[in-house]
Amino acid sequence: MSPPPTPLKPPSLPPHSATTTATAFLFLLFLLPLTTSAASQSCSTQHSSKFSCPPFTSIPSFPFSSYPGCGHPSFQIQCSFPHAIISINNLNFSLLHYEPNSTSLLLSPLTPSPQSSLSKTSCSVQHSLFFIPNRPISLSGSPFRVSDSYCSRLSVLKPCQPPNLPNCSHCSWECKLIKNPIHLLRDECVSKSHQDSQQGCQGDVLGFLDKFLKLGVEVEWDEDQDSYFSSCKTCRASNGFCGFNSSDPEKAFLCFKSPAAQIREKGVNRIAILCILFLFMCFLIILFVATVIYRSRQKGLASEEDPTIVFLRRHRSAGLLPPVFTYEELGSSTNHFDVKRKIGDGGFGSVFLGQLHDGRIVAVKYLHKHNSSTAASGNKAFSTKSFCNEILILSSLNHPNLVKLHGYCSDPRGLLLVYEYVPNGSLADHLHGSTNLYGKDRLTWNLRVDIAVQTAMAIEYLHFSVVPPIVHRDITSSNIFVEKDMRVKVGDFGLSRLLVCSETTMERDDSSGGVWTGPQGTPGYLDPDYHRSFLLNEKSDIYSFGVVLLELITGMRAVDQRREKREMALADMVVSRIQMGLLHQVVDPILVVDGEAVEGVDAVAELAFRCVATDKDDRPDAKEVVAELKRIRGRNRLVGGGAGVLRSSNSSNVVVPES
Ligand SMILES: *[C@@H]1O[C@H](CO)[C@@H](O)[C@H](O)[C@H]1NC(C)=O
Ligand SMILES: *[C@@H]1O[C@H](CO)[C@@H](O)[C@H](O)[C@H]1NC(C)=O
Ligand SMILES: *[C@@H]1O[C@H](CO)[C@@H](O)[C@H](O)[C@H]1NC(C)=O
Ligand SMILES: *[C@@H]1O[C@H](CO)[C@@H](O)[C@H](O)[C@H]1NC(C)=O
């Protein structure tokens, strides 16, 4: 069994791995929205159920937020009782009051830890320093600034002389505050302080600060100066929630989509992606299934059917193919290739007479497969392919003077060709056979010319009407078959190519127009040029046909061992006789009337002489041969009168062979 002609290439992406990739991708796709939506969800809802965050009466809105990452980074509050706590520059403040939609806050510094407040008490015995922070309040770097009114209130605060100082080596911060209370609010208020004011001398500076801070320090901010506010406006316009990147040191602004919009948008996205994925998976599945089916079919074809048939099917629709016979069918039709049924034997194989199931009588040609010379086991696939090619060509040929190919059988046991059976023997049988079977004398000159014309027309058809042209390569009188009505059909065309093919010969066939072949052809008919070039072409057929013409003229065999060596080949003999002007010596006696050859013999001999020219360029082509023979036949009919009615052979008592 030969391998299938074209092995299937594996698909570039194995379907299983692609499917896994797609599944993983799908899985990630579902995870992604879950992680990102968490922050935005909190920014919008903010555990509203157990809300308690004084002074806010409702959920703090932008810029405030009690959830990290939401709102403005400088307005992060911690909900606690009695006041929410806001942290500015690492200093905690109680958020005493906030008017909604205003841009100011009332803050009060909280005490630090209880431990540090204890140590503070030692510094000021008579005052509780509960609210006084242990360092200056700095608002730099925040959006806040102390309102003017509170700055002025501090700036007019002056200690009375001499200040009642605690142990300054121990309580340096308190001493500093008592000497210059404005230090509590650094930076801004210092520049604005009104040194000219005479009033406001406070003996108990720390006590005053204590009360003062309990009332709270008002801070304000300018929304126009802060990019967060403008960014949030555009974010809110698109139903977003304002926040920032808490892991980013820059605390970059972030706009979270509202959950509804998010779900809507993501949903649309997800549906689109899902659709694409679904289609993609479908495509993969189809691809996979198709590959599996195609592979199994390939395997099935290769293992179950003969590659010959596979090839033929692929190249032509089954309806146009010649019927395929089974080996068994042909075996039984020929009585298992019974020797008694053998009606011919040649270089290519043996011919058996067979009767098909439908009653048709056929000639079954059993080709010797081992004859395919170099096309041995390694080349088998090729020889099979070329065999198929030839079958295609031969079965498509249709000419009244060519034997019809009925069908074929390709089997490991042998190649079989089934031809129409031409029942009346070959031309060789008629010319050289035993007199009682056919009788040479029945071959009148007109009949012989007609046979020549039909044979030439078959050759012309092979050479000029078939693409690519077929070189018969074995035109002999044994390959010209005679029907009951004495019409002829040429057989065995193309067989040499069927069998003696190798890859190189096919290539040469295309390039040089000739076919390199192993030794073949029939002695006596073989183009002498072949021994020089080892190429057979159309002109080689013309040579062989020339020899057949000479057979028709002389009635002698193409090769006759009984003749002397120089004249063993008919062509050599007749050519030399013609050159000596002694043609009449070799003309078939039947064609000689009153010592002279009948009209037209000379003309045909002249044509044959040209056909067997040693140089192939001197030989005429098939078209020319047909034209010349038709011309001769037409003249014969004019001259020969009644003898020319060959076509209606049944009515002619001259030509009917046996009835
Ligand atoms: C501010 O208050 C928080 C808790 O409300 C506390 O963890 C933090 O230490 C306080 N910061 C200072 C500087 O006291
Ligand atoms: C705050 O402003 C918003 C619009 O910007 C308005 O809907 C809301 O009623 C205002 N609230 C108060 C208390 O003025
Ligand atoms: C202040 O405290 C230091 C030790 O901390 C002490 O030596 C000094 O006497 C105290 N001064 C007064 C006036 O009490
Ligand atoms: C937040 O900031 C970090 C650090 O700069 C960055 O890696 C991350 O991508 C940011 N996240 C978003 C949602 O912008």
pLDDT in tens, 580-617: 988 888 898 888 877 777 888 999 999 999 999 988 89
Q: pLDDT at position 195, please?
A: 55
- Give the Cα separation of 156 and 44 in Å (integer): 45
Domain 427-505+513-650 is classified in which CATH homologous superfamily?
A: Transferase(Phosphotransferase) domain 1 (1.10.510.10)
Q: Residue 31 burial (CB < 10 Å; 0-12/13-18/19+)?
A: exposed
Q: Is the pLDDT of residue 544 over 90?
A: yes
Question: What's the pLDDT band for 657 if we cut at 50, 70, 90?
Answer: very low
243 or 122, higher pLDDT: 243
Which ligand minimizes its atom distance to the CA of 116?
A: 1
Q: Which residue, judged by its Cα, is nearest atom 14 of ligand 3?
A: 167
- Asked whether 324 and 310 are in contact (CB, 8 A), the reply is no
Q: pLDDT at position 86, please?
A: 92
Residue 88 Cα, ligand 4 centroid: separation in angstroms?
Answer: 24
Residue 439 Cα, ligand 1 centroid: separation in angstroms?
Answer: 135
Q: Is the pLDDT of residue 157 over 50?
A: yes
81 or 551, higher pLDDT: 551
Q: pLDDT at position 488, please?
A: 92
- Catalytic site residues? 474
Q: pLDDT at position 7, please?
A: 39
Indicate if ligand 1 lies below 6 Å from the C-beta of 92.
Answer: yes
Average pLDDT over residues 548-568: 90
Q: Is the pLDDT of residue 145 over 50?
A: yes
Average pLDDT over residues 400-422: 83
Average pLDDT over residues 23-39: 47
Mutate to test the pocket of ligand 3, among 169, 171, 172 (most ligand atoms within 8 A of CB): 169
Instruction: Round the average pLDDT of the chain to a whole number and report it.
Output: 75
Q: Which residue, judged by its Cα, is nearest atom 1 of ligand 2?
A: 101
Considering just the CA atoms, what is the radius of gyration of the chain in Å? 58
- Give the Cα separation of 213 and 107 in Å (integer): 8
639 or 248, higher pLDDT: 248
- Give the Cα separation of 422 and 324 in Å (integer): 21
15 or 597, higher pLDDT: 597
pLDDT in tens, 346-383: 666 788 888 888 888 888 888 765 544 433 333 444 35
Q: Which residue, judged by its Cα, is nearest atom 10 of ligand 3?
A: 167
Q: pLDDT at position 262, please?
A: 58
pLDDT in tens, 285-327: 999 999 988 887 766 554 555 666 666 666 555 555 667 788 8
Q: Does the annotation list 365 as a binding residue?
A: yes
Indicate if ligand 3 lies below 6 Å from the C-beta of 172.
Answer: no
pLDDT in tens, 473-486: 889 988 899 988 88
583 or 182, higher pLDDT: 583
CA-nearest of 399, 407, 402, 393 to 362 is 407
**Which ligand 1 atom is at minimum distance from the Cα of 90?**
13
CATH fold, domain 307-420, is: Phosphorylase Kinase; domain 1 (3.30.200)
CA-nearest of 557, 426, 400 to 482 is 426
Which residues of the chain form CATH 1.10.510.10?
A: 427-505+513-650
Mutate to test the pocket of ligand 1, among 66, 76, 80, 87 (most ligand atoms within 8 A of CB): 87
Which residues of the chain form CATH 3.30.200.20?
A: 307-420
Ligand 4 site: residues with CB under 6 angstroms?
245, 247-248
Q: pLDDT at position 567, please?
A: 86
Question: What's the pLDDT band for 497 if we cut at 50, 70, 90?
Answer: low
